[in-house]
Each structure stands twice: as structure tokens, then as C-alpha cells.
Amino acid sequence: MNLRKFFEKYPDESSCIEGFKKKRLEIGIVCKKCGHLEHSFRKTDLKFQCKKCGSRISLRSGTVMENSNLPFQYWMLCIELMTLSKKSFSALEMQRMLGHKRYEPIWLMMHKIRRVMSKLDEKYKLDGCIEFDEGFFERVDNKDVIEDKDDNNKDDPKPGKRGRGSERQAKVLVMVESEPSISAPKKGKPNRKVGYLKMVVMEDLKSETINKEVQKSVEKTASVISDGYTGYSKLKEVIAKHQVIVEPDKNKSAKVFPWVNSTISNAKKVILGIHHNCINQQYVQNYLDEFCYKFNRRYFGDKLSDRLIIAALETTWY
């Protein structure tokens, strides 16, 4: 929904509490003590009370909001804003929009929401014809920050190795479903129809490591097309078909692998434009998960935020 409709539906804290309460009841609450399913809600302390044994459970308990002291309206609005935008928001920008004094709680809230997005996409495997490629995303480690602070000659930065061996780039395996288009493509558009996308940060791009991830993310019946990189040489061990296409010309390569190239480029633009490449290594996956979640649900419209809220309230979110 747009922001006008959002504030009509959730104008204050109490309306957000009521919204979360209704959705938790729709999902179903199981008493941790006796397993009973029927509960009443106590407005005085925002807890569900089992109608059988009287045991109580907090509205936040077991959800993405557990152990958080942020208002319910913050959570509701943050989910709405993160799903409403095609791109993303920095935690600093979200902090400004919410009017919160401290940065850290907002940053943590956004990463928890990204983790919910990740859990939803982990449930599904890619199938059919799939384009494979590697992406390399700039990231920052604590070690890098310390070295930069200690470096007196800031006008003469040390050149780093680029590409697959770069120390300052996260290695990402990119997999996107891509079927040949039946109808004639529009001018300037790819001649392949795109499906779902997965981006996974890898420790390395050796064939054994890639195969392990492919087993988690891709159905055995899938057919993969890739370039001639040696890391893909053993893919036939875990999938039905693997076609290698070596195309040195970049313009022609973009036509052979239209969607994997496009998604890598767009993801880099988001990270560069919104987060300015200032992403710690351990959080790169979270930002990629947010990008993939929105890409895979690009036609959901107003349902996108509601689906994410329901997932955030399920006890399996973590």
C-alpha cells in the first residue's frame, strides 16, 4: 500500500498493536506450557493468555520483535517502507524518517527484517533453465577500517587486486531462472523470460564449494548455462544438464546471459548508491537477500508488506 493508505490504517501505536495482534491470532498461537490453541488478549500488558492453563505469552515473544524496545509502529512502518521502495534505505535515512535518537536499534531492526526476507527465499529452490555467474561486491572489514585509520599517507592509497582474487570484494554466486521467450522480445529487451533469483556470498569459488551451494539452492532437474570458469566444471555431478558458453565479446555475452548480468549490475547500483559500499563482510548477504526478495516478488504489489509482516510474526523467522 502507499503511505497515505498506510497511515489511514495504522495512524498510531495502538492501531499497530491491534494489527500485529490480529495477524498473530490468524497465524495461531500455541501455549508453550500445555499446547492449547485458544488465547485471550490482555491490553494492560500486551500478552496473550491461555484459556486453559492461564499461561501468558508476550505479543513480541517468538517474533522478529522479541527483545526489542522499539515501538510497534516503528516495526510496522519500517516493513512498509522497505517493501514499498524498489531500491532500499540506509539505516541512517530510516532513523531520520522515524525520528529516533539512536542509530543502532534502527540498524538492528532493519537487519532482522532482512533476515526474515532471507528465510522466506531459503524455502524455495530454482528450477528449469538457470543462468550462472559470479559477482564481486565491495565490502569493508573491521581490519580494513583499522588499517585505514593507521595509514598516515591517505592521499596515496594502496592499490588492491581486482576480480576473483580481490581481498576487499565479497565473492557472490548469482543464479537466476531464465527461459527462452515465446513471443518476440521488445526492442532493447532480453529475449529470455526471467524467473526467480538467488545471490549467495561464498567463501571461495572452487568447484566443490559451488557444488555444495547448488545442491541447497537448485533442483537436480535444472539445466544450467554458464561461462567457461573452472569453478563450474563439476556442475554435472549435481544437476541434470550444464551448457558452457564462452563469449569473449561483452556485448554478445550480455545477450547470452541477459538476466544474470542485469541483476548483478542492479544490485551493485543499490549497494553503491544507498550504502556507498560501506558494508561489513558479515552483512553483505543480508543486503543481497533484500534485493533478491524484492526482485522475486516484483509483482506482489500491496500484498508484499502483509506477507512480510506475517512471516516476521511466525516463530520460525530466525
As a whole number, mean pLDDT of residues 111-116 equals 96
92 CB neighbour count, 10 Å cutoff: 12
Q: Which helix (H) or strand (E) is 131 found in, with range?
A: strand 129-138
Q: What is the CATH number of domain 124-150+161-296?
A: 3.30.420.10
Per residue in 236-290, pLDDT (tens digit) is 999 999 999 998 877 777 788 899 999 999 999 988 888 776 788 889 999 999 9
Eight-state DSSP code of residue 245: -
Query: Tens of pLDDT along 7-29?
Result: 999 999 999 999 999 999 999 99
Q: What is the DSSP string of 63-90?
A: STTTT--S-HHHHHHHHHHHHH-SS---
pLDDT tens digits, 168-181: 789 999 999 998 87
Residues 220-245 have a mean pLDDT of 95
Q: What is the arithmetic mean of pLDDT over 131-138? A: 93
What does the alpha-carbon distance between residue 177 and residue 192 come to, in Å, rounded to a whole number?
10
Of the pLDDT bands very low, low, confident and very high (cuts 50, 70, 90), residue 1 is confident
pLDDT of residue 61: 93
Q: How far apart are CA 280 and CA 296, in angstroms?
A: 25
Q: Is 188 helix (H, G, I), strand (E, B) or coil?
A: coil
User: For residues 187 and 203, is the Cβ–Cβ distance under 8 A?
Assistant: no
User: Can you tell me the mean pLDDT for 31-45?
Assistant: 94
- Domain coordinates of the chain in residue numbers? 1-63, 69-123, 124-150+161-296
